[in-house]
């Protein structure tokens, strides 16, 4: 175990010059406790100086913001950056291209680490390669601490905790609704590269399979459909959420936790069937061109053309960001008595997580609060893990509630009671 208390910084924000990194540095300057010592880092001094001035101007932050210059591919710079801090916030992506040297250096130096990756292959590879070493060196590495995949993963934690004391959650269906949806080109690049390597992810998973002892009927996962409860069309969400939530359930099993693992599915909803058309053609472009290297280069070079303006090199404007938001609706089924899980579920919980613009506002709030939880010593476990595994028993949800990311419950009752109410109202 490395003792990191006497290090120069409590936190370093690496990749602070990126579109998202700048939001994260600003959120940190606005909300961090006054006594936290922190720095911004990246590969370009001039860009970092510009971020430093901009953060100070927009937040009226009065103290100095130190700068560390480090390139991902310079091992000694990585090691010395990671050795200077108790925790590193990584915003350099695509993570499949730039993430591993950062994780490796943090693990080697016993430094805690959080990131905003939404790339399952990267996350699953890091768990396989670095979990044991991270436990030995005393570092806690938590992936996916942004919109990918805090709402889903912590939403599952929150929803399953609503079941009666002696009860248990069996499955959760989740529906994501987005108001306004544009993003910066790098996120789209991650999607293109991720879809192109779907086969190797399958191979990777076949080497690390763990039997998860779910209870209740097997949850059916659909590709597309119409959900009456949401009154909306939906398609299966191809982001990292399902993978991250599954990794959290796997962690519960491997850690021999008494918490019951939960089956999970996640969909994106649409108000009208017309919204399907651009999605359909966008997906078609990705799947056909994305298969070939020349096609991927083309897709990545012209994001705005191939996504009908959803992703661009300029990223969303301030106005677009202010007019956006997200909500995740969780429909959970389970049992009021964990010792009686034969037959159909008899208990239902409906919960929601909602917040501001997901990719940059909510993401920056989520990751800095994950960092505060770790710096305050709330997580005792070490290793490479997902948010639901690391933050299950911490104050993260309360902290997020205070920052405008709301977790609420609308239904918590026996399924019998629910159908009686419905019969009465008909
Ligand atoms: N979880 C979420 O919901 C969420 C939300 C937003 C973004 N993200 C992810 O966050 C990542 C960044 O997205 P973004 O839009 O902010 O991208 P971006 O603007 O392109 O930023 C990328 C950052 O990586 C840095 N970088 C690139 N190569 C480097 C190297 N060799 N050494 C050191 N730094 C290097 C860049 O530095 P320069 O400025 O010097 O080029 C920049 O700071 C992506 O993977 C994206 O998918 C996730």
| Residue whose C-alpha is closest to residue 160's, from 39, 263, 270 | 263
> Ligand 1 test: best mutation among 12, 13, 17, 183, most atoms within 8 Å of CB?
17
| Cβ–ligand 1 contact at 188 (below 6 Å) | no
DSSP-derived 3-state class of residue 227? strand
Q: How far apart are CA 99 and CA 129, in angstroms?
A: 13
| Cβ–ligand 1 contact at 93 (below 6 Å) | yes
| Cβ–ligand 1 contact at 95 (below 6 Å) | yes
Q: Measure 107 CA to ligand 1 centroid, in angstroms.
A: 21
Helices 241-254/120-137 angle, 10° precision: 30
**Ligand 1 atom nearest to CA at 20:** 16
Whether the Cβ atoms of residue 372 and residue 140 lie closer than 8 Å to each other: no
Q: How far apart are CA 155 and CA 408, in angstroms?
A: 10
Residue by residue, pLDDT tens for the chain (426 residues) are 777 889 999 999 999 999 999 999 999 999 999 999 999 999 999 999 999 999 999 998 989 999 999 999 999 999 999 999 999 999 999 999 999 999 999 999 999 999 999 999 999 999 999 999 999 999 999 999 999 999 999 999 999 999 999 999 999 999 999 998 788 889 888 888 888 888 888 888 888 889 999 999 999 999 999 999 999 999 999 899 999 999 999 999 999 999 999 999 999 998 887 777 777 777 777 878 888 888 888 888 988 888 888 888 998 999 999 999 999 999 999 999 999 999 999 999 999 999 999 999 999 999 999 999 999 999 999 999 999 999 999 999 999 999 999 999 999 999 986 666 666 665
What architecture (CATH level 2) is domain 9-146+361-400? 3-Layer(aba) Sandwich (3.40)
| Cβ–ligand 1 contact at 186 (below 6 Å) | yes
Two structure tokens written together for 228: 């009456």
Q: What angle do CA 329, 143, 130 make, to 5 degrees?
A: 145
Q: Measure 68 CA to ligand 1 centroid, in angstroms.
A: 16
| Cβ–ligand 1 contact at 71 (below 6 Å) | yes
| Residue whose C-alpha is closest to residue 313's, from 425, 169, 207, 182 | 182
| Cβ–ligand 1 contact at 94 (below 6 Å) | yes
Q: Catalogue the E-assigned strands of 199-274.
A: 224-227, 232-236, 263-270
Q: b/e string for 52-79 if b means 16 or more Cβ within 10 A?
A: beebbeeeebeeebbbbebebeeeebbb
| Residue whose C-alpha is closest to residue 279's, from 236, 337, 217, 341 | 236
């Amino acid at each position: 175990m490395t003792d990191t208390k006497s290090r120069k910084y409590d936190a370093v924000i690496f990749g602070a010059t990126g579109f998202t990194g700048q939001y994260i540095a600003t959120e940190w300057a606005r909300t961090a406790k006054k006594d936290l010592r922190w720095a911004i880092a990246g590969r370009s001094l001039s860009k970092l100086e510009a971020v430093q001035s901009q953060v100070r101007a927009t937040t009226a932050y009065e103290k100095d913001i130190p700068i560390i210059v480090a390139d991902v591919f310079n091992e000694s710079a990585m090691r010395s950056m990671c050795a200077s801090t108790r925790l590193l916030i990584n915003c350099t992506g695509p993570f499949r291209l730039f993430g591993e040297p950062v994780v490796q250096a943090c693990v080697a130096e016993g430094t805690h680490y959080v990131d905003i990756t939404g790339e399952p292959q990267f996350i699953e590879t890091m768990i396989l390669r670095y979990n044991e070493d991270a436990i030995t060196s005393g570092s806690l590495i938590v992936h996916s601490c942004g919109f990918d995949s805090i709402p889903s993963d912590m939403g599952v934690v929150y929803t399953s905790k609503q079941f009666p004391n002696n009860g248990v959650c069996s499955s959760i269906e989740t529906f994501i609704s987005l108001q306004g949806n544009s993003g910066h080109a790098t996120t789209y690049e991650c999607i293109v590269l991720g879809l192109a390597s779907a086969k190797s992810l399958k191979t990777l998973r076949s080497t690390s399979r763990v039997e998860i002892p779910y209870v209740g009927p097997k949850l059916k996962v659909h590709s597309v459909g119409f959900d009456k409860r949401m009154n909306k069309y939906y398609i299966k969400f191809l982001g990292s959420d399902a993978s991250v939530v599954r990794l959290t359930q796997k962690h519960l099993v491997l850690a021999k936790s008494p918490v019951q693992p939960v089956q999970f599915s996640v969909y994106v909803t649409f108000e009208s069937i017309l919204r399907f058309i651009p999605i359909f053609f966008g997906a078609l472009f990705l799947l056909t061109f994305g298969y070939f290297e020349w096609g991927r280069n083309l897709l990545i070079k012209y994001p705005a053309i191939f996504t009908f303006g959803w992703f661009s090199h300029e990223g969303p404007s301030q106005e677009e960001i202010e007019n956006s938001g997200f909500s995740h609706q969780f429909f959970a089924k389970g049992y009021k008595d964990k010792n009686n899980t034969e037959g159909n579920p008899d208990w239902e919980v409906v919960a929601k997580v909602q917040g501001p613009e997901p990719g940059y506002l909510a993401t920056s709030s989520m990751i800095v609060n994950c960092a505060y939880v770790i710096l305050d010593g709330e997580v005792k476990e070490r290793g490479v893990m997902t948010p639901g595994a690391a933050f299950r028993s911490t104050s993260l949800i309360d902290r997020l509630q205070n920052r405008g990311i709301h977790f609420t419950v609308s239904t918590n009752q026996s399924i019998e009671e629910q159908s009686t109410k419905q019969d009465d109202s008909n």
